[in-house]
C-alpha cells in the first residue's frame, strides 16, 4: 500500500488493534475484590443487540442515500461497542468466570459460537476503524469496498454476543 493510499490514522489504528486485545487479555488476569458488577452482563448483551439492529439500520440508510443518518448510526454503534468493551472488562475484572453448564450438542454449539465470537471480536476492530477512517477522509470508494467485509463481521460479533449471553445467563451465580 502506498503512503498516499494509507489512512492518516493508519498507525493509530494498527496500534489500537494490537493494544486493545492484549490489554483486555491482561486485564482478565486482574481481580479487583469488593465491587459488584454482576448487573452488567444483561446490559452489555443489550448493547450488542442494539448495535446489531442499528448496523442493519445504517446499511438500509446508506442504500437509501441517507448519508447523515448512516453516519450517525455508525457513530452510535461505535460508541455502543466501546461501552460494551468497558462494561465487559469491568465485569470480568471483578467477577469470576462463569462456566457453561449445558451438555451435549448445546455445549458444542455454545463453544463454537463463543470461540468464533472472541476471535472475530478481535479481528473486527481494525476493520471497523479502517472503514470508519476511510469515510472520515472522504475516500468513499475504499470505504464502501471495506465495509462489505466489515458489516457482516461486526454484525456477527454483535449477534453472537447476545447468543452467548442468553446461553450462559442461567449459569451466572
Write down all domains in the chain, each with its CATH number in brackets: 37-171 (1.20.120.80)
pLDDT tens, 105-135? 999 999 999 999 999 999 999 999 999 999 9
Average pLDDT score over residue span 145-160: 98
- CA 152-154-156 angle, to 5 degrees, is 65
Q: Which sign does the torsion angle of CA 155, 50, 103, 87 carry?
A: positive
pLDDT tens, 66-77? 999 999 999 999
Question: Cell for 105?
Answer: 450438542
Question: Cell for 153?
Answer: 463481521
Residue 132, classified by CB atoms within 10 Å of its CB into exposed (0-12), middle (13-18) or buried (19+), is buried
Q: How confident is the model at residue 30 (pLDDT cuts 50, 70, 90)?
A: confident
Amino acid at each position: 500500500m502506498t503512503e498516499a493510499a494509507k489512512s492518516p490514522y493508519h498507525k493509530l489504528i494498527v496500534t489500537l488493534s494490537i493494544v486493545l486485545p492484549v490489554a483486555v487479555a491482561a486485564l482478565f488476569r486482574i481481580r479487583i475484590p469488593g465491587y459488584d458488577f454482576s448487573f452488567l452482563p444483561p446490559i452489555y448483551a443489550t448493547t450488542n443487540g442494539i448495535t446489531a439492529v442499528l448496523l442493519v439500520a445504517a446499511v438500509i440508510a446508506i442504500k437509501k442515500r441517507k448519508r447523515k443518518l448512516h453516519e450517525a448510526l455508525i457513530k452510535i454503534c461505535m460508541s455502543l461497542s466501546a461501552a460494551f468493551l468497558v462494561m465487559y472488562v469491568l465485569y470480568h475484572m471483578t467477577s469470576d468466570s462463569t462456566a457453561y453448564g449445558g451438555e451435549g450438542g448445546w455445549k458444542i454449539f455454545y463453544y463454537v459460537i463463543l470461540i468464533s465470537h472472541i476471535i472475530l471480536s478481535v479481528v473486527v476492530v481494525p476493520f471497523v476503524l479502517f472503514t470508519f477512517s476511510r469515510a472520515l477522509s472522504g475516500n468513499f470508494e475504499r470505504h464502501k469496498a471495506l465495509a462489505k467485509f466489515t458489516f457482516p463481521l461486526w454484525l456477527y460479533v454483535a449477534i453472537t454476543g447476545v447468543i452467548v449471553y442468553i446461553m450462559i445467563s442461567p449459569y451466572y451465580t
